[in-house]
Structure 1
């Protein structure tokens, strides 16, 4: 289920947006505090963001720039500002689209679906698409997809970063510091235990293919992959 983050300080509009979006099978993340937007974004990993311009403390342009340091997910500005310069600034600061208030909720859904198809779905760029593989286990970065034999599963952004490093390194040991740098290239403090949580998550992803004990913990050094799945049908 794709997650849509709504960053809008008007309580009524935020609730109405969420209600309408959820009717179409999306999960919504409704922010009610606006002083730690980036931290919440990093935690939730939404596939798309609806972002107002007029926000407390820092405006939407600022938060768009902060998100862009971390993610290329679609960001759609929603604003009562109708001026051409406002729309240009939204795009120049990293936005993908702009919807003026008041708007049609159906238009919002159409825009959301369009951007999700472009980035994650049928219109996603496939020419020259990268594949990182290790003994038949393959990761497609542009699709955020893990494949094994005839099966595939969509994975989150953080899971994708882990799989990218582990599959590229294969049986070579990858240090915890290297994985932390790959996943959280930011000035925000991240507890090292958070890495353990994501290692557990990627192990669960592999178990969906019937692959177990493939990620080996090398005490005091880091992690590496072991090919434990060659006999799996």
Structure 2
């Protein structure tokens, strides 16, 4: 699999490239930071490591540009650690966030988990799941209600799929994190919260504001 590195600090970029190649990944290392989108289009990576502070335009900008073309997973790397940075990362379409400095084993655990859930976690036993007028299309990861439709990220798709498969029952946060990342030890609990907020916003745009209910201290459910 191919990973694109968008990091303007040469020392960190070289370390990331060396680590990824040691794990058997092919790497594409961006050095012209006004051509991030062009590099993405020509290299077609399976995952992107995206710094936030970049020359010309920041990582949020490039994430938004890429999201207009693709749902490829994007993992943000940043020394910025405010809750707003994490919210911005998720709201612009990021799949996860890791703060610098980081341990390489934690980074690789996150990368491998994202790749597993993106490219192997697909239940094709049914082409769609429907409940209360909301249709989840398994093949193209979209939600539809009436004539309105929303595209889902891989994370949002898996969350919706789990909830709809267990409609009428509470799905714990721990179970969701295990399904998404397989080992919740490497997961920031805020990441799940932000993704749920983003999913609910898309449901609200479909006219289904109350489709997912929160069970305080337990988890979430579709009544």
Under TM normalisation by the shorter chain, which class is it?
0.5 to 0.7
1:128 and 2:143 correspond: no
Gaps of 5+ in 1: 131-139, 143-233
What is residue 179 of structure 1 aligned with on the other side?
none
Matching residue of 2:182:
none
- How many residues align structurally? 132
Could you say which residue in structure 2 is the equivalent of 1:74? 73
Distance of aligned partners of 1:141 and 1:107 in 2 relative to their CA distance in 1, 3 Å threshold: same
> 8 Å contact 1:117–1:124 — kept in the other structure?
no
CA shift for structure 1 position 106: 0.8
Match of 1:61 in 2: 60
After TM superposition, the score normalised by the length of structure 2 is 0.56
- Residue 93 of structure 1 corresponds to 92
1:49-71 Cα distance to aligned partner (Å, 9 max, x none): 00000000100000000000111
Matched, 1:27 2:26: yes
CA 1:73/1:125 → structure 2, altered by over 3 Å: closer, same or farther? Answer: farther
> Could you list the runs of 5+ residues in structure 2 that have no partner in the other structure?
129-137, 141-223
Contact 2:124–2:139 (Cα < 8 Å) also in 1: no
SS at match of 1:110: helix
1:98–1:54 CA distance, 2 compared to 1 (3 A): same
Matched, 1:9 2:12: no
Tell which structure's C-alpha radius of gyration is larger: 1
Residue 141 of structure 1, CA deviation: 6.5
Q: Secondary structure at the match of 1:78?
A: strand
SS in 1 for 2:28: strand
Residue equivalent to 2:50: 51
Deviation at 1:99, TM superposition (A): 0.3
Kindly state the Cα deviation for residue 124 of structure 1 after the two structures are TM-superposed: 2.9
Q: Deviations over 1:19-78 (max 9, x none)?
A: 011111110111111001101100000000000000001000000000001110110000
TM-score (normalised: structure 1): 0.54
How far off its partner does 1:127 sit? 4.3
* 1:167-224 Cα distance to aligned partner (Å, 9 max, x none): xxxxxxxxxxxxxxxxxxxxxxxxxxxxxxxxxxxxxxxxxxxxxxxxxxxxxxxxxx
The answer to whether the 8 A contact 2:21-2:27 is kept is: yes
